Amino acid sequence: MSTEFAFNQFQFGDAAGSGIWLIGHYRQHLRYNGVLAARSPPVLIPSFSILTIEGGNKRAWLDAHASWHNLLRPIANVTGIDLAVVDLDDEREFYSWIDAHNLEHQIMDAVFGVA
Protein backbone atom coordinates (compact mmCIF):
# COMPACT_ATOMS: atom_id res chain seq x y z
CA MET A 1 0.00 0.00 0.00
CA SER A 2 1.65 3.25 -1.06
CA THR A 3 1.15 6.67 0.41
CA GLU A 4 -0.43 9.66 -1.28
CA PHE A 5 0.87 12.02 1.40
CA ALA A 6 3.70 14.14 -0.01
CA PHE A 7 6.24 15.36 2.50
CA ASN A 8 7.22 19.04 2.24
CA GLN A 9 4.74 19.56 -0.57
CA PHE A 10 4.27 23.24 0.12
CA GLN A 11 6.31 26.24 1.15
CA PHE A 12 5.70 28.79 3.85
CA GLY A 13 2.85 31.09 2.85
CA ASP A 14 1.59 28.88 0.00
CA ALA A 15 -2.17 28.72 0.69
CA ALA A 16 -3.01 26.46 -2.26
CA GLY A 17 -0.16 24.07 -1.46
CA SER A 18 -1.25 24.03 2.16
CA GLY A 19 -4.74 22.94 1.15
CA ILE A 20 -3.42 20.07 -0.95
CA TRP A 21 -1.08 19.06 1.89
CA LEU A 22 -3.92 19.11 4.44
CA ILE A 23 -6.01 16.71 2.36
CA GLY A 24 -3.19 14.20 1.77
CA HIS A 25 -2.08 14.47 5.37
CA TYR A 26 -5.58 13.82 6.72
CA ARG A 27 -6.00 10.84 4.42
CA GLN A 28 -2.67 9.45 5.62
CA HIS A 29 -3.88 9.63 9.21
CA LEU A 30 -7.07 7.82 8.15
CA ARG A 31 -4.87 5.20 6.47
CA TYR A 32 -3.03 4.62 9.76
CA ASN A 33 -6.37 4.16 11.52
CA GLY A 34 -7.46 1.71 8.83
CA VAL A 35 -4.28 -0.37 9.18
CA LEU A 36 -4.73 -0.48 12.94
CA ALA A 37 -8.43 -1.36 12.70
CA ALA A 38 -7.54 -4.30 10.41
CA ARG A 39 -5.27 -5.85 13.03
CA SER A 40 -6.38 -8.84 15.04
CA PRO A 41 -7.44 -7.81 17.54
CA PRO A 42 -8.34 -4.45 16.05
CA VAL A 43 -6.78 -1.31 17.46
CA LEU A 44 -9.36 1.44 17.28
CA ILE A 45 -8.42 5.05 17.76
CA PRO A 46 -10.57 8.08 17.02
CA SER A 47 -10.04 10.38 14.09
CA PHE A 48 -9.68 14.10 14.65
CA SER A 49 -10.81 17.12 12.65
CA ILE A 50 -7.60 17.94 10.79
CA LEU A 51 -8.83 18.01 7.19
CA THR A 52 -9.03 21.80 7.22
CA ILE A 53 -8.03 24.63 9.50
CA GLU A 54 -11.57 25.77 10.27
CA GLY A 55 -11.87 29.55 10.26
CA GLY A 56 -8.10 29.88 10.31
CA ASN A 57 -8.01 28.47 13.86
CA LYS A 58 -4.50 27.03 13.75
CA ARG A 59 -4.45 26.41 17.51
CA ALA A 60 -7.45 24.03 17.35
CA TRP A 61 -5.91 22.23 14.35
CA LEU A 62 -2.53 21.88 16.06
CA ASP A 63 -4.12 20.53 19.25
CA ALA A 64 -6.28 18.01 17.36
CA HIS A 65 -3.35 16.93 15.20
CA ALA A 66 -1.05 16.51 18.21
CA SER A 67 -3.74 14.43 19.94
CA TRP A 68 -3.89 12.05 16.98
CA HIS A 69 -0.10 11.68 16.91
CA ASN A 70 -0.05 11.13 20.66
CA LEU A 71 -2.37 8.14 20.21
CA LEU A 72 -0.36 6.72 17.30
CA ARG A 73 3.10 7.10 18.84
CA PRO A 74 2.99 4.33 21.44
CA ILE A 75 1.53 1.91 18.89
CA ALA A 76 4.32 2.74 16.41
CA ASN A 77 6.95 2.98 19.17
CA VAL A 78 7.79 6.50 18.00
CA THR A 79 8.66 9.61 19.94
CA GLY A 80 8.58 13.17 18.71
CA ILE A 81 8.23 16.81 19.50
CA ASP A 82 5.06 18.35 20.89
CA LEU A 83 3.38 19.01 17.56
CA ALA A 84 0.99 21.52 19.14
CA VAL A 85 3.80 23.88 20.13
CA VAL A 86 4.69 25.96 17.08
CA ASP A 87 3.97 29.35 15.59
CA LEU A 88 3.04 28.42 12.04
CA ASP A 89 3.19 32.11 11.13
CA ASP A 90 6.92 32.16 11.87
CA GLU A 91 8.78 30.87 8.82
CA ARG A 92 11.70 29.40 10.79
CA GLU A 93 9.40 27.58 13.24
CA PHE A 94 7.21 26.41 10.36
CA TYR A 95 10.11 24.68 8.58
CA SER A 96 11.49 23.16 11.80
CA TRP A 97 8.03 21.80 12.60
CA ILE A 98 7.53 20.45 9.06
CA ASP A 99 10.89 18.66 9.19
CA ALA A 100 10.18 17.03 12.57
CA HIS A 101 6.64 16.14 11.50
CA ASN A 102 7.81 14.64 8.20
CA LEU A 103 10.37 12.47 9.99
CA GLU A 104 7.70 11.15 12.32
CA HIS A 105 5.38 10.35 9.40
CA GLN A 106 8.17 8.59 7.52
CA ILE A 107 8.78 6.34 10.52
CA MET A 108 5.06 5.65 11.02
CA ASP A 109 4.65 4.93 7.30
CA ALA A 110 7.34 2.25 7.59
CA VAL A 111 5.99 0.80 10.82
CA PHE A 112 2.40 0.67 9.55
CA GLY A 113 3.44 -0.59 6.11
CA VAL A 114 2.08 2.31 4.08
CA ALA A 115 5.36 3.68 2.69
Q: Which of 45, 25, 26 is nearest to 35 (CA)?
A: 45
**Domain membership of residue 27 as a residue range:** 15-112
Within a domain: 2: no
pLDDT digits (tens, 9 = 90+) for 42-89: 999 999 999 998 888 999 999 999 999 999 999 999 999 999 999 999
Domain count, the chain: 1
Whole-angstrom Cα distance, residue 114 to residue 7? Answer: 14
In a domain, 43, yes or no: yes
In a domain, 80, yes or no: yes
Q: Kindly state whether residue 19 falls inside one of the protein's structural domains.
A: yes
Residues 24-55: pLDDT tens digits?
Answer: 999 999 999 999 999 999 999 999 999 998 88
Is residue 8 in some structural domain? no
User: What percentage of the chain carries pLDDT values higher than 70?
Assistant: 92
Instruction: Confirm whether 51 is domain-assigned.
Output: yes
Q: How far apart are CA 45 and CA 71, in angstroms?
A: 7
**Does the pTM exceed 0.75?**
yes
pLDDT confidence tier of residue 16, bands split at 50, 70 and 90: confident
pLDDT for position 1: 44
In a domain, 25, yes or no: yes
